[in-house]
């Protein structure tokens, strides 16, 4: 009962801090709008790949609010479906990176010694490679599909999470509640996953929120280079390629996908910063 009351109090404090952080509210609103766009794509019956050359390169109008592309496809419809791709890539890639980072960071921080040294040297080696160029090198040997993109981004972006979890475990493993559970005969697995890990996830929540923005930006860059999500599947990145080819005569093909990427990444960054401020115990209410 006491634990539940304390948890409710902490949630109230965090919510109060988020409510008074205007930037966090703006970021949360942007994220909600993105989810609404993805949901709207599921409700409309229009085909984002439907070609109608008689309607090609039409500027924004009542019929086509965001215009049409060089194949007569509705840009608004493709933008909505592109939001689904961005959400999928962001959350799956971050989920993979968090899973790997939490597991390795927990092992390194809890056991220490040679296990810690081995894992952290591997982390250091991974950090020596520029992440984007590492992704490019891996994608060069794989088919440029959306699933490969998500897996590769996840497998190359877990190092920060591992270092955060390790630091938290080093701080928590000698606390009284851990020592008490250890004295009562709790196994290593129970100590790690039941007692320490739930108290070490706060920085991971912030990192995951910011990581979604990074994954969306990486996917857009890969798609823009032609090695990400492949046409006719709509992606904000590959829509920019079409816009680049007709930039002088059809500005809307570049402006709207570019703005969508910019605003979405900004929204997740603002939300992540707001969550970090709300969870920081050093900040007063």
Domain CATH code at residue 25: 1.10.3720.10
Give SS3 for 39: helix
Number of domains in the chain: 1
pLDDT at position 3 over 80: no
Mean pLDDT to the nearest integer, 245-268: 88
Mean pLDDT to the nearest integer, 167-185: 86
The reported pLDDT for the residue numbered 50 is 83
Is 285 a domain residue?
Answer: no
Mean pLDDT to the nearest integer, 29-38: 88
Q: How confident is the model at residue 280 (pLDDT cuts 50, 70, 90)?
A: low
Compute the distance between CA of residue 210 and CA of residue 161 in angstroms, rounded to an integer.
11
Q: How confident is the model at residue 101 (pLDDT cuts 50, 70, 90)?
A: very high
Q: Which residue has the tokens 């979604």?
A: 212
**Residue 227 near residue 144, CB atoms below 8 Å:** yes
pLDDT at position 9 over 50: no
Q: What is the pTM for the complete model shown?
A: 0.85
Alpha-carbon distances of 206 from 90, 131, 272, rounded to whole Å: 14, 20, 5
Mean pLDDT to the nearest integer, 183-193: 86
**Which uninterrupted H or E stretch holds 79?**
helix 75-111
pLDDT at position 222 over 50: yes
Is 284 a domain residue?
Answer: no
Report for 71-75, 200-204, 228-232, 238-242: range of highest mean pLDDT = 71-75
Is 64 a domain residue?
Answer: yes
Compute the distance between CA of residue 47 and CA of residue 69 in angstroms, rounded to an integer.
14
Task: Give 44-64 pLDDT, tens digit per residue.
Answer: 767 888 888 888 888 998 988
The reported pLDDT for the residue numbered 238 is 86
pLDDT at position 11 over 70: no
Is 78 a domain residue?
Answer: yes
Work out whether the CA dihedral 96, 162, 190, 200 comes out positive or negative.
negative
Is 191 a domain residue?
Answer: yes
The reported pLDDT for the residue numbered 282 is 52
pLDDT at position 104 over 90: yes
Contacts of 39 (CB under 8 A, 6+ apart): none
Tokens of 195: 């007692």
The reported pLDDT for the residue numbered 281 is 53
Is 1 a domain residue?
Answer: no
Is 38 a domain residue?
Answer: yes
Portion of the chain with pLDDT greater than 90, in percent? 22
Q: How confident is the model at residue 12 (pLDDT cuts 50, 70, 90)?
A: low
Query: Half-sphere exposure (CA, 13 Å, Cβ side) for 3?
Result: 0
Compute the distance between CA of residue 209 and CA of residue 159 in angstroms, rounded to an integer.
15
Give SS3 for 74: strand
Q: Is 2 left (phi over 0), alpha (psi -120 to 50) or beta?
A: alpha
Report whether the peptide linkage leading into residue 9 is cis, meaning its omega lies within 30 degrees of zero: no
Q: What is the mean pLDDT of the chain?
A: 84
pLDDT at position 283 over 70: no
User: Between 175 and 4, whose confidence is greater?
Assistant: 175
**Residue 81 near residue 234, CB atoms below 8 Å:** yes
Tokens of 173: 């493993």
Compute the distance between CA of residue 88 and CA of residue 222 in angstroms, rounded to an integer.
15
Is 3 a domain residue?
Answer: no
Mean pLDDT to the nearest integer, 242-254: 82
Determine the structural domain holding residue 76 and report its residue range. 8-279
């Amino acid at each position: 009962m006491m634990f539940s009351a304390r948890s409710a109090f902490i949630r109230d404090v965090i919510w109060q801090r988020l409510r008074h952080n205007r930037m966090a509210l703006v970021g949360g609103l942007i994220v909600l709008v993105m989810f609404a766009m993805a949901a709207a794509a599921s409700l409309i019956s229009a085909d984002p790949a439907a070609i109608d050359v008689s309607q090609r390169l039409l500027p924004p109008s009542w019929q086509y609010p965001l215009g049409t592309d060089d194949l007569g496809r509705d840009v608004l419809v493709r933008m909505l479906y592109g939001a689904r791709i961005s959400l999928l890539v962001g959350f799956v890639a971050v989920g993979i990176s968090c899973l790997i980072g939490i597991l390795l960071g927990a092992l390194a921080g809890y056991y220490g010694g040679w296990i810690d040294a081995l894992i952290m040297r591997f982390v250091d080696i991974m950090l020596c490679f520029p992440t984007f160029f590492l992704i490019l090198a891996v994608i060069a040997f794989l088919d440029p599909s959306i699933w490969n993109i998500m897996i590769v981004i996840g497998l190359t972006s877990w190092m920060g999470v591992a270092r955060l979890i390790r630091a938290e475990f080093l701080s928590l493993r000698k606390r009284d509640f851990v020592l008490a559970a250890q004295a009562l005969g709790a196994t290593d697995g129970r100590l790690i996953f039941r007692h320490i890990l739930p108290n070490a996830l706060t920085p991971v929540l912030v990192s995951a929120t910011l990581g979604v923005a990074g994954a969306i930006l990486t996917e857009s860059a890969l798609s823009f280079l032609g090695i990400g999500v492949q046409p006719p599947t709509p992606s904000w990145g590959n829509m920019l390629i079409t816009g680049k080819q007709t930039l002088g005569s059809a500005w809307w093909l570049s402006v709207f996908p570019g703005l969508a990427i910019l605003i979405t990444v900004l929204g997740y960054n603002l939300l992540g910063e707001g969550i970090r401020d709300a969870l920081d115990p050093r900040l007063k209410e």
